[in-house]
């Protein structure tokens, strides 16, 4: 890949640096370098290392996390990047992100990459539907057809980059919002009423039929992992917000499992700061907390 300066010199004079794709380089690249060269061909881009990324200003940018997994699976730089984004020091307001994770060395980075996408969302970035392309050592999922597995792999990478460069969360001024939950009884009723008032205040409308613009899922982490009933609610599309009451430990893994089903396998898009976790609280306890309800209000009304 060309460096930042050389690449911009080859762009049209109409291309502004702030419009270029930001490729965040994570790990020691071998095969991924060749994949990226094909994937970003003809596009304006700049490449930054993780330390520089965490110190930079990246509002309103398209961000591709280009990850080469460690052979040991430790992925120290990947985890440090996620931790840095979770610290709140780096803001990604207006950004849209996706990721390429390559395991040419035999390492694996799926869970760490999902956590990175959640961290970027926490920092203000949207996450596109199907935001992660992975390539293992053998590239078996890319077999078939007249092309080699490597050629098919880099073609898929190109498709991801093009989607990242063009896709954007579609926020409607009068959004139709669907509320979903596995909770029953008074807790579900109270939460629905509270959220319906906020949706109306934001200019939207709560609906139970038709295709929604946005879905709000309220669920409870009582066992460390979401059950199939909860996961089955994530089969739709459009914007998705997650409200996770977590009386049990393991909320990070719980949230990662939801993202994996909703976005990586499904067609949901995460708008900025789409995941709220009520640590150590049941849904009933969170509803009774003025502080937590103010967090919900602030998020849904973008205050």
Residue 133 lies in a domain: yes
Same domain, 217 and 143: no
Q: What is the pLDDT of residue 18?
A: 67
- Per-residue pLDDT tens for 272-295? 999 999 999 999 999 999 999 999
**Final residue of a domain: which of 139, 166, 193?**
166
Count of the separate structural domains present in the chain: 2
Distance separating alpha carbons of residues 144 and 163, to the nearest angstrom = 23
Domain that holds residue 199: 176-300
- Per-residue pLDDT tens for 249-262? 999 999 999 999 99
- Per-residue pLDDT tens for 57-83? 999 999 999 999 999 989 999 999 999
Q: Give backbone dihedrals phi and psi of 20, rounded to 5 degrees, phi first.
A: -75, 150
Give CA separation, 40 vs 21, 67, 107, in Å: 9, 15, 24
Residue 171 lies in a domain: no
Q: What is the pLDDT of residue 248?
A: 96
The token pair at 158 is 């190109």
- Per-residue pLDDT tens for 168-194? 777 777 899 999 999 999 999 999 999
Same domain, 38 and 162: yes
Same domain, 119 and 40: yes
The token pair at 199 is 């949706």
Same domain, 145 and 283: no
Distance separating alpha carbons of residues 152 and 60, to the nearest angstrom = 31
Same domain, 103 and 251: no
* pLDDT confidence tier of residue 19, bands split at 50, 70 and 90: confident
- Per-residue pLDDT tens for 105-160? 998 999 999 999 999 999 999 999 999 999 999 999 999 889 999 999 999 999 99
* pLDDT confidence tier of residue 10, bands split at 50, 70 and 90: very low
Distance separating alpha carbons of residues 187 and 178, to the nearest angstrom = 17
Same domain, 65 and 187: no
Distance separating alpha carbons of residues 289 and 268, to the nearest angstrom = 29
Q: What is the pLDDT of residue 268?
A: 96
Same domain, 157 and 9: yes
Residue in 249, 240, 177 with CA at minimum distance from that of residue 209: 177
**Statement: residue 211 has pLDDT above 90:** no
Residue 247 lies in a domain: yes
**CATH code at position 152:** 3.40.50.360
Same domain, 130 and 191: no
Same domain, 151 and 250: no
Same domain, 210 and 266: yes
Same domain, 10 and 49: yes
Q: Is the separation of the CB atoms in 303 and 283 below 8 Å?
A: no
Same domain, 161 and 191: no
**Final residue of a domain: which of 147, 166, 185?**
166
* pLDDT confidence tier of residue 16, bands split at 50, 70 and 90: low
**Could you tell me the pTM of the whole model?**
0.93
- Residues 235-244 have a mean pLDDT of 95
Q: Which residues pair with 267 in a beta bridge?
A: 237
**Final residue of a domain: which of 142, 166, 190?**
166
Residue 17 lies in a domain: yes
The beta strands (E) that lie in 173-232 are given as 176-181, 205-206, 214-220
């Amino acid at each position: 890949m060309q460096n930042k300066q050389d690449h911009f010199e080859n762009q049209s004079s109409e291309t502004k640096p702030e419009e270029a794709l930001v490729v965040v380089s994570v790990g020691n690249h071998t095969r991924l370098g060749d994949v990226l060269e094909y994937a970003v061909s003809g596009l304006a881009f700049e490449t930054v290392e993780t330390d520089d990324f965490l110190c930079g200003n990246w509002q309103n940018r398209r961000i591709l996390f280009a990850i080469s997994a460690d052979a040991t699976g430790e992925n120290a730089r990947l985890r440090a990047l996620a931790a840095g984004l979770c610290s709140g020091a780096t803001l990604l307001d207006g950004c849209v992100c996706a990721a390429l994770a390559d395991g040419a060395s035999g390492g694996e980075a799926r869970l760490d990459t999902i956590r990175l996408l959640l961290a970027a969302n926490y920092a203000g970035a949207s996450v596109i539907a199907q935001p992660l392309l992975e390539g293992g050592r053998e590239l078996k999922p890319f077999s078939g057809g007249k092309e080699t597995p490597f050629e098919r792999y880099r073609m898929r990478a190109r498709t991801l980059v093009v989607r990242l460069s063009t896709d954007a969360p579609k926020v409607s001024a009068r959004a139709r919002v669907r509320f979903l939950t596995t909770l029953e009884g008074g807790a579900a009723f109270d939460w629905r009423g509270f959220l319906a008032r906020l949706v109306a205040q934001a200019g939207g409308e709560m609906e139970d039929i038709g295709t929604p613009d946005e879905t709000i899922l309220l669920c409870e982490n009582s066992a460390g992992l979401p059950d199939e009933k909860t996961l089955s609610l994530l089969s739709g599309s459009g914007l998705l917000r997650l409200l996770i009451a977590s009386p049990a430990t393991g909320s990070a893994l719980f949230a990662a499992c939801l993202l994996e089903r909703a976005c990586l396998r499904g067609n949901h898009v995460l708008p900025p700061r789409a995941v709220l976790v009520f640590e150590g609280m049941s849904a009933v306890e969170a509803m009774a907390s003025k502080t937590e309800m103010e967090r919900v209000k602030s998020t849904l009304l973008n205050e």
